[in-house]
Amino acid sequence: MQPARLPLLALATLLAVAGCDNAATLETRTLMLQNLHTNEAAQLIEPYLYGEDRESTSLAISGNDRALTVRGTPENLDRIEQMLAEYDQPQPDIRLHFQLIEADGFTERDPRISEVEAELREIFQFGGYRLAGEAFVTATDGAEVLQGLQGSDDLYEVFARVYRVSAEIIRLDEVRLEGRSLGVGFQTAVNIRPGQTLVLGSSPLSGSTTTLLLAVRAEDAG
C-alpha cells in the first residue's frame, strides 16, 4: 500500500508554455522510473518547462507511480531524460531507533534519553523520565515494521508503515504502540527528517501513575 503523494504536479496534467507554433517538432516518450516516484520526478522536471531557452510549447505529464509520459521537443526530452537518469538512483534503507520511555516522578536523570529529555520537559509536566526499552529496525521504502519493545512490566509492540517521500523526508504512517495491559495506546502519522528525533505519542498505564511515551529517531542506513 502506497500513501498519497504530494500533488506537486497532478497526474494527467497539461503544463503549457505559450510562444511556439512548430507543433511538428514535438514527440512523446514514456520514461520508466526505478526509484523515484512520479511526484518527485515531476518536481525535478518543472524547471525544464519554463524559460526563454525552452523551445517546446507544451509538456504533457501522465503516468502511474513508476512511469512518466512526457511530450515536448526532442532536445528538451533529452535533457529531461538525462536529468532523471542522474537522480533516479537507489535510496538507502531507513534505520529507526525506537525508545519506550516511562514518565513519572523519577528524580534521577537517565543519560540514555538525554537527547530527547529536554523536548519531553517542554511538552509534558512529569517529574522525571527513564528509558524502559529500545529497539533498532531497518526498513526499505514502503515496508511495514512490527517491532517488539520490552518495557518494565510488559512486552509492547510498535507497528508502522515506512515511506521515503524524498531524500529529506521520511513518512511514518499508522504508527501504533500496543501492549497486553495497554491495548492500543495511540495511533499517529508523522513526517521526520533523517537525523531527527521525535516524540510520537503518550499513553497512561491503567491503574498506575506512569505514562508511556514513544520516541523515534530516523537515519539513513549505511
Residue 16 has pLDDT above 60, yes or no: no
Phi then psi for residue 76, to 5 deg, are -70, -35
- Beta bridge partners, 159, equal 146, 176
Average pLDDT of the residues in 194-214: 87
Residue 168 has pLDDT above 90, yes or no: no
Average pLDDT of the residues in 217-222: 87
Q: What is the pLDDT of residue 134?
A: 93
Q: What is the mean pLDDT of the chain?
A: 79
Residue type, 211: T
Domains of the chain: 13-87 (3.30.1370.120), 94-220 (no CATH)
Cβ contacts of residue 53 below 8 Å, gap of 6+?
Answer: none
Which pLDDT tens digit goes with each residue over 115-167?
888 888 888 888 899 999 999 999 988 899 999 988 877 889 999 999 887 77
Q: What is the pLDDT of residue 62?
A: 61
Average pLDDT of the residues in 95-100: 94
Cβ contacts of residue 152 below 8 Å, gap of 6+?
Answer: 102, 132, 133
Q: What is the pLDDT of residue 5?
A: 44
Average pLDDT of the residues in 169-197: 88
Confidence bin at 25 (pLDDT 50/70/90): confident
Helix (H) or strand (E) holding 107: none
Confidence bin at 18 (pLDDT 50/70/90): very low
Q: What is the pLDDT of residue 119?
A: 84
Q: Which of 34-43, 47-56, 171-180, 193-202 has the lowest mean pLDDT?
A: 47-56
Residue 175 DSSP class? E
Which pLDDT tens digit goes with each residue over 32-88?
888 777 777 887 887 776 544 455 435 556 656 678 888 888 888 888 899 888 888
For 18-54, give one letter per residue: b (16+ CB within 10 A) or e: eeeeeeeebeeeebebeebbbbbbbebbeebbeeeeb
CB atoms within 10 A of CB 58: 16
Q: What is the pLDDT of residue 14?
A: 35
